[in-house]
Amino acid sequence: MSRLDEHAEIREQMPLFVAGALEADALSRVALHLATCADCSAELERWQLITGGLRRLPTPQPPAALFERTRALAVARLAEHRDDRRNRTALVLLILFSWAVTLAGWPIFRLATGGLLSLLDVNFRQTWLLFVVFSVGTWLAGGSAAVLLSLRRQREGRLA
């Protein structure tokens, strides 16, 4: 690496050196160069003056109302995120429960309508059709209730 390239690289890293943000190997390389180069040492002093001046500047504080609005918005978003996660979990459990009830309902339905021996009957006749109509109706009613509850929750959210 030529001497000019080395100077350019050191000067690019000087703000990070002053801020203490260099890794150990780069830090030692810059420190070694600064020990032998008067121009770069003078540049370092300028960066240290700038950094010291910046540290003495007061840190701007947001207005209290802005801070409070932002905090309230963050709290509301976190609560909304928790509600969404809870709703997804409840929906998955509800779907699993619905499938379990549907699958368990068929043998119970067959027992109630035709006795235990009719479970082995492969000729399903009208009992099968009645069970399918019952299952589809139940699923449609549950789906409709879920959609209506979701729409109501969205409307309440917009009003709040």
Q: 159: pLDDT confidence band, cut at 50, 70 and 90? A: low
User: Across residues 140-146, what is the average pLDDT?
Assistant: 79
Q: State CA 32 to chain mean position distance.
A: 45
| Domain boundary assignment for the chain | 3-56, 91-159
What's residue 2's pLDDT? 62
pLDDT tens for 29-83 read 888 888 888 888 888 899 888 888 888 888 888 899 999 999 999 999 998 888 8
Task: Please give the residue that has the higher pLDDT: either 7 or 112.
Answer: 7
Question: CB under 8 Å to 131, separation ≥6 — which residues?
Answer: 105, 106, 109
* Dihedral-angle region of residue 61 (phi above 0 means left; psi in -120 to 50 means alpha; beta otherwise): beta
Q: What is the pTM of this model?
A: 0.40
